[in-house]
Amino acid sequence: MERIATGIPGLDEMLGGGLFPETAVLVEGAAGTGKTTLGLQFVVNGATRFDEPGIVLTFEEFPRQFYHDAAAFGWDLRQLEQENRLRVIMSSPEVALTDIKNPDGLLAQAVQATGARRILVDSLSHFTLVERDPIALRQLAFTFVNALKRLGLTALLTWERSPLLGGDPNAGEFVTFLADGYIALRYVELDSVMQKAILVLKLRGSSHARDIRQYQIMGDGLHIEAKFEGQQRIMSGYATPSMADAFVAAFGRARD
């Protein structure tokens, strides 16, 4: 089956080849873990390398900052917009939720105009500012995500978790049920250093990597690196070396 490659080094292999078309995948993590970067990378790679135009729907309020942040990774969003390969929509959650229902809305027009196949929604968690009632919120988000799919888009939805470190993976019951995939980004304290960990927890209809890997945010975006080794409780935010490894680290292996 067709796959939508993210083009992010190492990630497509974790995803068993990429995302499925017209699915929505959560990218969940704390502030600073690189959710937006991962999402932009997905959309920009589509536009520049895979001939798949894309849309960035952001609730960021500072266009200059936004374009600047992207430029720091070498992504010239304005240029891509001029080439009609990308459309950046700066909106508010309220406006986006109304617009999505309109077949002639901004988003629908952008899809039609660019032939977009990918979208980054940054961030879905802003919807919690719009609707306090959890059930109403859940239905609202469900409607929104379904509308994206109906527009033929493959979506990355960022979700910001508030405990920066620790706490179990949990984007609130209101989003896990609506996503076809779930990518968790985590800070992990390991050897007195704050590392970053990525895990593909779920990818509907596909096999995927199950190991927890390190990643770096480098000058050109995220790079997935080797899997963690000899550690326990990584996803809790505080990695603990396995006891066997601790023994070996201290004494060497007994029988070599």
Binding residues for a second copy, rule CB under 8 A, total 83
Q: Per CB under 8 A, which of residues 53..72 are in contact with a second copy?
A: 61-62, 68-69, 72
Q: Per CB under 8 A, which of residues 93..152 are in contact with a second copy?
A: 125, 128-129, 132, 135, 138-139, 142, 146, 149
Q: Which is nearer to a second copy, 3 or 204 (CB)?
A: 204
Partners of residue 119 on adjacent β-strands: 55, 155
Q: Determine the interface stretch with a second copy among 44-52, 74-82, 109-117, 203-211 (rule: CB under 8 A).
A: 203-211
Distance CA 88, CA 181 (A): 24
Chain-centroid distance, C-alpha 161: 13
Using CB under 8 A as the binding rule, whether residue 92 contacts a second copy is answered as no
Distance CA 120, CA 40 (A): 7
Q: Which is nearer to a second copy, 9 or 167 (CB)?
A: 167
Q: Which is nearer to a second copy, 85 or 212 (CB)?
A: 212
Kindly report the three-state secondary structure assignment for every residue of 171-204. Answer: CCHHHHCCCCEEEEEEEEEECCEEEEEEEEEEEC
**Tell me, what amino acid is at 180?**
D
Shortest distance (Å) from residue 108 CB to a second copy: 19
Distance CA 73, CA 40 (A): 10
Q: Per CB under 8 A, which of residues 22..51 are in contact with a second copy?
A: 30-32
